[in-house]
Amino acid sequence: MITAEKSPEREEEEANPRAEAFLEIICRVPAGEVEAALSACGIGPTAEVEELVLKSRECYKRPKSAVRFFRWAGQSVSHTAYAWNLLVDILGKAAMFESMWDAIRSMKQEGGSGLVSVATFASYCTAGNIKDAIAALDVMDRYGLKHDAVALNSLLSAICRVEGRVQDAQDVFERTKATIPPDGDTFAILLEAWEKEGNAVRAKSVFGEMVVRIGWDAANVSAYDSFLSTLVRGGLLDEAFKFLQVMRSKGCLPGINFFSTAVDLVVRKGDYLNAVAIWHMMVSEAGLVPNFSMYSAMIGLHCNAGSIDDALGLL
Tens digits of pLDDT across the chain (315 residues): 344 444 545 544 444 888 999 999 999 999 999 999 999 998 999 999 999 999 999 999 999 999 999 999 999 999 988 898 889 888 888 878 788 878 877 776 665 554 445 555 666 666 667 777 777 777 777 766 677 888 889 889 888 988 888 999 999 999 999 999 999 999 999 999 999 999 999 999 999 999 999 999 999 999 999 999 999 999 898 899 999 999 999 999 999 999 999 999 889 988 899 899 999 999 998 889 999 999 999 999 999 989 899 889 988
At residue 112, the pLDDT reads 55
- Tell me the three state secondary structure of residue 313: helix
The DSSP output letter for 120 is G
For residue 46, which amino acid is it? T
Instruction: Measure the CA–CA gap between 315 and 309, rounded to whole angstroms.
Output: 10
Instruction: Measure the CA–CA gap between 278 and 261, rounded to whole angstroms.
Output: 11
Interior CA angle at 310 toward 304 and 314, to 5°? 105
Instruction: Measure the CA–CA gap between 164 and 92, rounded to whole angstroms.
Output: 22
At residue 16, the pLDDT reads 84
Number of CB atoms found within 10 A of residue 106's CB: 15
Q: Is 119 exposed, middle or buried (0-12, 13-18, 19+ CB in 10 A)?
A: middle
At residue 253, the pLDDT reads 93
End-to-end CA distance of the chain: 47
For residue 56, which amino acid is it? S
For residue 59, which amino acid is it? C
At residue 221, the pLDDT reads 94
At residue 11, the pLDDT reads 42
Instruction: Measure the CA–CA gap between 166 and 163, rounded to whole angstroms.
Output: 8
For the whole model, what pTM was predicted?
Answer: 0.71
